[in-house]
Amino acid sequence: MVDCPETVVALLSSDVNPPQVLLRSFPNLVSNATQWIFRFDCLDVSGCSFSCSVHELGDPPRRTPCGRSYRVDQLVDGNEYVFEVIATDGVGNVGEPVVYSWKIGE
């Protein structure tokens, strides 16, 4: 097999497809857990970086860089929350936000 790094660079630089995020760990739609660790992966050959946010329903997201997990705590009983994660692949394509909403309490 011939090592052709130029071919790999050409393939990656011609990548115009945004990355997809697969959410692997999330709370039930109604949960009593006041803390949670969201876990997710990127489905892109060039790898991804992520930005995440958890905010109350109706508030704007305040995304910060995150790894392949995002911990939230001090969630308040009775409130509804929104988790968002966005991936950027290794060539700069930005995916659509993956959004998950849930409520604390019954």
| pLDDT tens by residue, 5-61 | 554 555 555 788 999 999 999 999 999 999 999 999 998 888 899 999 999 999 999
Q: Is the pLDDT of residue 104 over 60?
A: yes
User: Total structural domains in the chain?
Assistant: 1
Radius of gyration of the chain (CA): 17
Which residues are CB-contacts of 93 (< 8 A; sequence separation ≥ 6)?
Answer: 15, 16, 17, 18, 19, 44
Question: pTM of this prediction?
Answer: 0.82
pLDDT computed for residue 45 by the predictor: 84
Q: One-letter amino acid identity for 90?
A: G
Range of the domain at 74: 5-104
Strand order in the sheet with 20-25: 20-25, 36-43, 69-72
Q: Determine whether 57 is exposed, middle or buried from the number of CB atoms within 10 Å of its CB (0-12, 13-18, 19+).
A: exposed
Q: What is the CATH number of the domain that holds 100?
A: 2.60.40.10
